Chain A
Amino acid sequence: DQQVKQNSPSLSVQEGRISILNCDYTNSMFDYFLWYKKYPAEGPTFLISISSIKDKNEDGRFTVFLNKSAKHLSLHIVPSQPGDSAVYFCAASVGTSYGKLTFGQGTILTVHP
């Protein structure tokens, strides 16, 4: 039972363009969502998060959008840089279960110079 899904295994983007990574979830109890970035041989690194009371959160080049009715979130990276090439995971948690995250399968982002 995959409660958090990232349906695109990979995404290739040109440097300077926008990268859009998508994530869908099925559990309506999820109320906190996060994006992590992972480089090879390293642990995931927190990128940005959003609470279910918001529909958008920005941090520099990174913006996360949440559509609760569609149970969908997306991460926009503008402009994309070669250093952004990594595996991106979306994750979700329920209320007081902070720290007990349910992850998607990940999307490999490649940004070409």
Chain B
Amino acid sequence: ETGVTQSPTHLIKTRGQQVTLRCSSQSGHNTVSWYQQALGQGPQFIFQYYREEENGRGNFPPRFSGLQFPNYSSELNVNALELDDSALYLCASSFGQGLGETQYFGPGTRLLVL
């Protein structure tokens, strides 16, 4: 059974560019949640996908968008990057809409926007 994987591990972009981050959920999981963790802060909920549909969104602008594929892997897209988007992006997978303890987090993608 493989755990949650994320790619790439690190990424450097410039302001105004677009970025796509990827997440492969744990085998058997059909829900993926994305979080942004700024330096020195706790993770902030961006959105959740359940069976390929967005199932809740945090306080993030529309330039943060996502997809979930039939195999339940997921992408996070960020358009028009801003300096404040520099952060660790975490995805977490679970079965169903998941109680907190059934969420398994990936190691994250660290994004630096210059």
- A binding-site residues for B, Cβ under 8 Å: 4, 6, 32, 34, 41-46, 49, 89, 91, 93, 96-106
Contact = CB atoms under 8 A, between A and B. Distances in A.
12 contacts: A41-B107, A49-B101, A89-B43, A97-B56, A98-B100, A99-B33, A99-B48, A99-B92, A100-B58, A101-B35, A101-B45, A103-B44
Contacts, number: 71
A104 B42 contact: yes
Contacts of A102: 45
Interface of B: 4, 31, 33, 35, 40-45, 48, 56, 58, 90, 92, 94, 97-108
B42 A100 contact: no
B45 A43 contact: no
Contacts of A98: 97-100
Contacts of A89: 42-43
B101 A46 contact: yes
A89 B37 CA distance: 12
